[in-house]
A and B are shown apart, each in its own frame.
Chain A
Amino acid sequence: EAQVTQNPRYLITVTGKKLTVTCSQNMNHEYMSWYRQDPGLGLRQIYYSMNVEVTDKGDVPEGYKVSRKEKRNFPLILESPSPNQTSLYFCATKVGDLMNTEAFFGQGTRLTVV
């Protein structure tokens, strides 16, 4: 079964404590991306990756890092989380050509930073 798996699903942490949200896909998709969802703002892209070792900033990259060492995994790293990073995070994957097919989304990770 095609899957995009995020972990953890829920996380409460304190300001400044480094954390990683993992994303793994079994569809052999080249393109992976991270979004955050905030009320009234829809989804905004944080980072994306067109393939292994190829990553680039989206619209709201500040405070986040990513890596793409292997095709199936695309972790999101918050080196020093702050309360304004409290949000619902989604990982998405897609076949390499962005244009013609829909993206598949993970289940979401609800992060609270206190």
Chain B
Amino acid sequence: ELKVEQNPLFLSMQEGKNYTIYCNYSTTSDRLYWYRQDPGKSLESLFVLLSNGAVKQEGRLMASLDTKARLSTLHITAAVHDLSATYFCAVSQIQGAQKLVFGQGTRLTINP
């Protein structure tokens, strides 16, 4: 059974600092997604990572995928308050039911 774990689950950081959110998954997959959710809102797609070694960047966020280690990272550079949100990674299950399996989410708070 595919399991996805994120850490940390809660992260409070200062503006201007760098930090990384980690996403580990338990079985083979080479399709990984990052989503952002603001309080009371829906999920917004950030990145789609489709192959080993994939790296994508958008503004202060950069996501990477290592399928051999079954690990994806979401790196935040010089954080700003607007990036405060909950971030989810999700992995496509290849065998069996067609679904995305989500991590628990990382609630990121960026303080001025």
Chain A stretch 18-63: residues in CB contact (< 8 A) with chain B = 31, 33, 35, 40-45, 48, 50, 56-59
In whole angstroms, how far apart are the Cα atoms of A90 and B88 in the complex?
14
Residues of B within 8 A of A108 (CB): 41-42
Interface residues on B, range: 20 to 34
In whole angstroms, how far apart are the Cα atoms of A98 and B98 in the complex?
7
Residues of B within 8 A of A59 (CB): 99
Nearest residue in A to B9 (C-beta to C-beta)? A40
Residues of A within 8 A of B88 (CB): 42-43
The count of chain A contact residues (Cβ–Cβ below 8 Å) is 28
Chain B residues engaging chain A, CB cutoff 8 angstroms: 4, 9, 31, 33, 35, 41-43, 45, 48, 50, 88, 90, 92, 94, 97-105
In whole angstroms, how far apart are the Cα atoms of A35 and B9 in the complex?
20
Asked whether any CB of chain B lies closer than 8 Å to the CB of A107, the reply is: yes
Chain A residues engaging chain B, CB cutoff 8 angstroms: 31, 33, 35, 40-45, 48, 50, 56-59, 90, 92, 98-108
Are B45 and A104 in touch, CB under 8 angstroms?
yes
Nearest residue in A to B96 (C-beta to C-beta)? A56
Instruction: Tell me whether A42 and B50 are in contact in the complex, defined as CB-CB below 8 angstroms, given that A90-B43, A104-B45 are known contacts.
Output: no
Are A45 and B33 in touch, CB under 8 angstroms?
no
Residues of B within 8 A of A92 (CB): 100
Instruction: Tell me whether A48 and B98 are in contact in the complex, defined as CB-CB below 8 angstroms, given that A99-B31, A100-B48, A100-B50 are known contacts.
Output: yes
Residues of A within 8 A of B100 (CB): 33, 43, 45, 92, 98, 103
